[in-house]
Every structure is written in C-alpha cells, then in structure tokens.
Amino acid sequence: MNLDDTIVATCSPPGNGSRGIVRVSGWRAIEIGDGLFRGTSGERLVETATNRRLGGVVRLGRFEVPAAVYLFRRPRSYTREDVIEFHLLGAPVLLGWLVESCLAAGARRAEPGEFTARAYLAGAFDWSQVHAIAGLIAARSDNQLRAAERLLHGALGDTARAARAELDELVSLVEAALDFAEEPIDFIAPDELRQRLAGVQRRLEAAVAAGLRADRWTELPRVVLTGRPNVGKSSLFNRLIAAERAIASPWPGTTRDVLSATVDLPGLECLLFDVAGEAEPRTELESLAQQSARRAAEQADLVLEVRDVADYAVCPAVAATTPRLVVLNKADLLSGEAVVRLAGQVREMEGVPVVAVSALDGSGCEELRAELARRLNARDAAVQEGAVALMAEHCTALEQAISALKAAMTVAGESGGPLSSAELVAAELRAAARALGMLVGEQQTEEMLSRIFSRFCIGK
C-alpha cells in the first residue's frame, strides 16, 4: 500500500441508487477534484480553504452532470489526508465514468479498506477500533451493530490499557525487588501481588464473557423448515421470503434440493431453508434428499417444525439439540377458537413455543416473523447488555494474557518468599502485557494489517 498515491473509489452501494458517492483521498485529491468540478457561482476547490459542501457540476467528457462536492482538507477528514467526495446521481455508469476520469487525472484505484487503513496509519483510531469498523460493516443485526459501536468507542482498548497500566506497575515492583534483593525493603508482598493479578484476570475474563464474536457475523443465522410432506413447508417458505421460489404442490415429495433465501426480519436478517419432507424414502433420490435435509436441520440455529393443523400432534424427528419452534399451518381450515386450543395443547404437551399460521392466506405470518426475530435476537441476548464486538485476534490476545497471568500467579504462589521466583513472575507479567499490547495496536505486523483491511470492501 503506497501512501504517496492519491486513491479513488465509489463508496456508495453497488447498483442504482438515488445518490452515488465517489471518494478521492491523497495529496492530489483537491487538484484532481478541481479539474473535474465547477461550482455554481464559479467557486474553485483549490481556492476553498475550509471544509464545506459546494454545489455545481462535474464534467465527464462532453457532459456536465449536476453534483455536490464535499471538501475535507487534511487533517480534518476521515483519512486525515485531503479528501474530495463527489455526490451525484447513483447511476453505476456515471459513477464508473467519474472514477475513470479521476484515474486519468492521476489517481489510483483504492484497495479494499484502504481509506480506513490510511485513517488508522495516520493515527485516527486505535487497532481495536479498526476491527470495530470491520464489525460495523459486517453487522447483520441491531445487537451486533451496538456491540461494534462499543468497540469503536474504544471499550476494549480502554480495558486493555487499564490492565496494561496495572501490569506495568506490578512488573516494575517485582523487578525492583530483584534489583534491590540485598536491601531489606519489601516492594510488594506475594499476597498483594496475587490479589492484584487476580483482579486483572477477572476484568479480562469479563471482557471475553461480554464479547460478541464479530468474526462470525458474516454468517447469517440459519432457520430450517422441517416437517412431514405436504404440511405446507414450501408454501410457507415462499410466504416468508415474499416470492415464489419453492414449488408448492399437493403431491408429496416435490421438494428435493435444499432451497435457501435471505429473509428480512425486524432488526436482523436470516437465511431460510426449505428441505425435503420427513417420510419413508421410496427412492434413492428421496433418501439423498432426506440426508441433506437432516444435515441442514443439524446445522440450523433454529428449526421451524411445520405441522398441519389436521395432524398437529405428529412430532418430526429433528436434531434434539437445535432450538425449535412449532408452526401449526393451514389454520384457515379450522375456526379461530379451534386453532387457539390446538396451539395451547401443543405448547403444554411439548413445552415449545407455537405459532399458528396459514401459508395460504398469510394470516399469522407477521406474528411468526416477529417470533423468529425475537428468538434469533435472544441468541446473543445473554451478552447483549454492554457487549463489545470481538474479533478472533482479540479473543486470542485476551486468552494469551489470561493464561500468562495464571502462570504468574502459580509461580508467585509457589514461592516461599517474595523473591525466590520473581524473575519468572516478571517474565509472565511481561508476556501478559505484550498480549494486551496487541489490543491497543502496539505490535501489529504487516500481515495483521493486510488481513484486517482485506475484510473491508473497496470504498471503505
């Protein structure tokens, strides 16, 4: 990554939109922007000293397209470099054209995450905040977004810095004891040392326990529809994804492949799967279809067990460990009262949540969506309060620090007096402090940098 280059990328989402954004960053950004933009009252970017928005047109070949330009002079910009943002109609061809014009004027295409990488290298935020931005981009639910925001606001960095400061002090006390071994001074008593180390350990363990594993966020929660043939799984699948994807038919055994689609629920998205119904397989093909259905159910975060109201007590054989929700389908065939009674019976008999719906007329489907969202959100609800997003690297660093602390306490505990193992204690404490240093970005390597930034998309 060459920081001397001026970089350019479209940073609005792909496809048509009401507004598209092209961002240019680097020492030539203003000059490049100035060559393409003309302000409504003739303002020039190169002559504009303060950060502001200018209305006008960008020249793209022979055309002039209405656009606004946001000018951010360094260091008061996201990357801390000079930044120009063109805001114009979100038409992919126009945006592509504008990017090409910037390239022709001497900019280079930005690599994935390069804007954020530059901001980080310029000291705009610390290492855990870089991860937080990756988390904000990856977040698929409101809980995840809040957890990433907490990371962005430095929650993990603060914990790590406080623990580091405490360890640094303890290391110097232990080392002082070594340096002045001949003197009758007691720098720190083993009991006090152990107590303070236990305090640090508790705080780090709490940080792990309260963390949401953000590196797994790109995976959507998986919800699988199971049940006997003809109970209406495919009809419900289509109803929930609001499209005719699965073939619903009165003939059992129509669904053979595992179908999947993304479903937008209140506050989060999930991946919904329609699979073959559970029945005695009659052919080799059906038997294969059932195997993949079972696999899908085993890997699910939630199983929707669909039953026909006429056959409500049949309990399909799904993986017992997967949380499940019973859906009584074809509610339109019975009276409202009868449906309520049946749902109550199943709930009481099996102790599972039950929702009655009709895939045919859509009744109950909004309740089902709300219940799905509630159950999937509840998966991380236990750690929701004050949760901070954690990437795999954070967990590793915290675990390394915790195990070094434990080793230090064991060694300190074995010593007869305060000094006999001071050197070993100090070494473990330094190892713990080093691991924490990773969290505040003291020791990231070139490889760590490229790994994190490659998770970003271009334009971020």
How many degrees, rounded to 5, is the angle at CA 305 between CA 299 and CA 311? 150
Nearer to ligand GDP, 313 or 333 (CB): 333
Please tell me the distance from the alpha carbon of residue 235 to that of residue 212, in angstroms, as a whole number: 35
**Helix (H, G, I), strand (E, B), or coil: what is residue 153?**
coil
> What would the x/- binding string for ligand GDP be over residues 261 to 280, using CB under 6 A?
----------------x---
Binds ligand GDP by CB under 6 A, chosen from 10, 230, 290, 377: 230
- Output DSSP code: residue 141: B
128-159 as b/e, with b when 16 or more CB fall inside 10 Å? bbbbbbbbbbbbbbebbbbbbbbbbebbbbeb
Per the omega criterion (within 30 degrees of 0), is the bond before 252 cis?
Answer: no
User: Does residue 371 contact residue 328 with C-beta atoms inside 8 Å?
Assistant: no
Q: Which stretch binds ligand GDP (CB under 6 A): 86-94, 337-345, 354-362, 384-392?
A: 354-362
Q: How far is the CB of 373 from ligand GDP (least distance, A)?
A: 21
For 183, phi then psi, to 5°, come to -85, 150
How many degrees, rounded to 5, is the angle at CA 214 between CA 431 and CA 376? 140
Does 232 engage in binding with ligand GDP (CB under 6 A)?
Answer: yes
Q: How far is the CB of 36 from ligand GDP (least distance, A)?
A: 55
Count Cβ atoms within 10 A of the Cβ of residue 261 and give its class: 0-12 exposed, 13-18 middle, 19 or more buried: middle
Q: How far is the CB of 322 from ligand GDP (least distance, A)?
A: 19
Q: How far is the CB of 19 from ligand GDP (least distance, A)?
A: 41
Q: Which stretch binds ligand GDP (CB under 6 A): 31-39, 99-107, 248-256, 346-354?
A: 248-256
Does 333 engage in binding with ligand GDP (CB under 6 A)?
Answer: yes
Does 332 engage in binding with ligand GDP (CB under 6 A)?
Answer: yes
Please tell me the distance from the alpha carbon of residue 92 to that of residue 112, in angstroms, as a whole number: 19
Binds ligand GDP by CB under 6 A, chosen from 141, 143, 235, 421: 235
Does 244 engage in binding with ligand GDP (CB under 6 A)?
Answer: no
Q: How far is the CB of 244 from ligand GDP (least distance, A)?
A: 11
For 34, phi then psi, to 5°, come to -65, -35
Binds ligand GDP by CB under 6 A, chosen from 234, 260, 377, 421: 234
Q: How far is the CB of 327 from ligand GDP (least distance, A)?
A: 10
Binds ligand GDP by CB under 6 A, chosen from 318, 359, 372, 436: 359
* Length in residues, the chain: 460
Please tell me the distance from the alpha carbon of residue 93 to that of residue 75, in angstroms, as a whole number: 32
Binds ligand GDP by CB under 6 A, chosen from 218, 249, 291, 299: 249
Q: How far is the CB of 269 from ligand GDP (least distance, A)?
A: 23
Q: Which residues bind ligand GDP (CB under 6 A)?
A: 227, 229-235, 248-250, 254-255, 277, 329-330, 332-333, 358-360
